[in-house]
Amino acid sequence: MINLRHVYCKSLESMAPLVRSVEETPDPIPTTITGRIPSWVNGSFLRNGPGKFEFGKDRYTHWFDGMAMMHRFHISDGDVTYSSRFLRSDSYIHNSEKNRIVVSEFGTVAMPDPCKNIFARFFSRFQIPKATDNASVNFVKYKGDYYVSTETNYMRRVDPQSLETKEKVDWTQYIAVNSATAHPHYSRDGATYNMGNSYGKGGFFYNIIRVPPPDETAAKADSPDFAGAEVICSIPAAEPRKPSYYHSFVMSENYIVFIEQPIKLDLLKFMLYRIQGKSFHKVMIWEPKYDTIFHLVNRHTGKVSKVRYRAAPMFTLHQINAYEDNGFLVMDMCCGDDGDSIGDFTLENLRKGSGEEMDKVNATSLTHNHIQTQTNLPRRYVLPLTVDQKTPLDQNLVTLNSFKATATMTKPGEVYMTHEELHDDELLQYGGLEFPQINYEKHNGRPYRYFYSCGFGNVFSDSLLKMDVHTKELKVWRYPGLYPSEPVFVASPQATDEDDGVVMSVIITPREEKSTFLLVLDAKTFTELGRAEVPVNVPYGTHGVFNEMG
C-alpha cells in the first residue's frame, strides 16, 4: 500500500482567494465559449456555497459560516450565461442591517450587542440562540419546488431562474423534527425522503421523513407545499446524551439505512456552549470507542430491522449509491477512519500563505485523516437482508461473487461487517475523494458501474475523477492551479449506456483574477468538450444540481 504521506507535492499554493467575499451578479451575463458545449444540454446548473465572510469589522471563523450565495449557469443551444445572488436569509438581512455578525453560525458565535449595557450583555449570553437560516449547503426539491438547505430546521424556497429568495420554511411547523439534512433522496414516484433529529423528554431520535409527490389534480399554488409530510420511522439514539452527527443517509429501492457513527454531539456542551462562547463545531467529538451502527429500515413500512449491524469506527459524509442484490444490500460511500478534525476548515487555516504554511495545514489533515479532504476513500459494505435464528454464527454470510466485504453473525441478532476498499492504489496519487455523484435518475438505488467525484491533493479539490466500481479503474481530469467543484452528471437524451452524457464542474483558481469557467466533460471518455469562461470571481462552493427545466 502506498503511504499517503508521500503522495502529496510540497509547497502547496494558498487557497485564500477561493474563500474571500465576492460581489453578486443578479443579471445574467454572457460567457466566452471555448470548444463546444453539446446543443442537447439545455437547462441550468445551480450551485450553492459560502460567498460573504465578514460584516463590518466582524469576521467569520469557519468556512461553513459564510453567507449563502447561489450561482446559475444557464445553458441553451451551446451558449451559457452566468448569474448569482446572495440568499436573502434572515441571517443575511439582520447582519447587513447591523453591519456586524448578529446571528451565530456553525463555527462563529455572535457577540452581544455592544450598544447594550453591561447587565443586558451578560444576560444575553444565557439566551439560547436561534438556528440560522443561512442555507448554504445544497439545492433540494420538494413537490417540484426548489429550496436551498442547510442542516437546521430552516430552508428557503427560491426561484431557480431568477435566484430570488422566497418563503422561509420551518420543518417544525409541519412535522416533529428539529432539523433536517441537506441531502434528501428522491424516489421514482416523485416522493422525497430525508432525515431529521428530534429531542425532548423522551430522548433523542433520528427520524426518517417522507414528503409525498405533488398532487397532480390540485391547482399549483405559488407557495411551499408540505401537505402530507410525515415521519415514517423514529430511531432512538444508542447514546441519548451523545447522539451521532450525520450529513446524509443510504437509500435503495426498498430500504433506508441510517449510519450511527462515532462522531458525537455532546448535548451537555451543546446546552452550555452559548454561555461558554463556544461555536457549534466545538461540541462535536470523535469517540472511536463506539462502533458504527447501521440501522436498516423498510422504507415502505417504516419498520426497523431487529438485527443489529455493526462495523469498526468510521466517519462518512456522503453516500455514493446502494442497491439490493440477491438478498444483500450493497452500500458504497466515502469514508475516513478518524473524524477528529472537522474544525480544521477554519478560514484562518484556509487563508494560510503558500509554501510551508499551507503544507502544515495539509500535513495536519493527513495526520488526522481529515474527514473533509485528502484521506476519505470509497468503501463498500454488504449487509445481509435474510438474517434469522437459523443463520449460522461466525462465518462470512456474503456470497456475492468477487465481493471482498464480509458480514458475520457474532451472536444471535448481531452482525459484524468489514468493508471492501472500492479503489486501487492509483487513487492515493490524487489524495482520496469526496463529493461523489452518479447517474442518479437511472441508477440511484439500483446496480451501477460509474461514479464521478473530486480528488483532494490539497485542502480543496484539485482533480475530477471517474471511478469504475467493477474494475476500480480511474479516469482523471487534473491541471495545476485549477480547483473543480463537485461534478454533476447530465444524461444525453438518447442515452443507451450508463455514462452516455456530460459531466459539469465549476473550475476556479487562486492564480488569476476573474478566471472561473464552467467545464463540460464527455462522461464516457472524461475528456473536455468545452468550457464557458466567466468574467467574475466565484468562491469555492459546496453542492449543486442540474435543473432541466432551465
Q: What is the pLDDT of residue 108?
A: 78
Q: What is the pLDDT of residue 118?
A: 44
**Is the Cβ–Cβ distance between 72 and 116 less than 8 Å?**
no
Q: What is the pLDDT of residue 382?
A: 98
Task: Return d(Cα 28, Cα 536) in angstroms, integer.
Answer: 12
Count of CB atoms situated within 10 Å of the CB of 118:
8
Task: Return d(Cα 531, Cα 188) in angstroms, integer.
Answer: 32
Q: What is the pLDDT of residue 31?
A: 98
pLDDT digits (tens, 9 = 90+) for 114-160: 554 444 444 434 445 578 999 999 999 999 999 999 999 999 999 99
Low-confidence residues in the chain, pLDDT < 70: 1-11, 111-129, 273-281, 341-348, 350-374, 550
Residue with cell 442484490: 325
β strands within 287-404, DSSP E: 292-298, 308-311, 315-325, 328-336, 377-384
Q: What is the pLDDT of residue 494?
A: 93
Percentage, residues of the chain above pLDDT 70: 86
Domains and CATH numbers, the chain: 16-548 (2.130.10.10)
Q: What is the pLDDT of residue 1?
A: 33
**Is the Cβ–Cβ distance between 92 and 50 less than 8 Å?**
no
Q: What is the pLDDT of residue 317?
A: 93
Q: What is the pLDDT of residue 52?
A: 94
Q: What is the pLDDT of residue 64?
A: 85
Burial (CB count within 10 angstroms: exposed 0-12, middle 13-18, buried 19+), residue 466: buried
Q: What is the pLDDT of residue 255?
A: 98
3-state secondary structure of 247: coil
Q: What is the pLDDT of residue 341?
A: 61
Q: Which residue, among 330, 414, 416, 415, has the nearest Cα to 378 in the 3D structure?
A: 330
Question: Where is the binding site, in residues?
Answer: 183, 247, 318, 543
pTM here? Answer: 0.90
The amino acid at 383: L
Question: Where is the binding site for Fe cation, in residues?
Answer: 183, 247, 318, 543
pLDDT digits (tens, 9 = 90+) for 322-371: 999 999 999 999 999 987 765 555 666 766 665 455 445 454 443 333 33
Task: Return d(Cα 129, Cα 133) in angstroms, integer.
Answer: 12
Q: What is the pLDDT of residue 370?
A: 33
Q: What is the pLDDT of residue 281?
A: 62
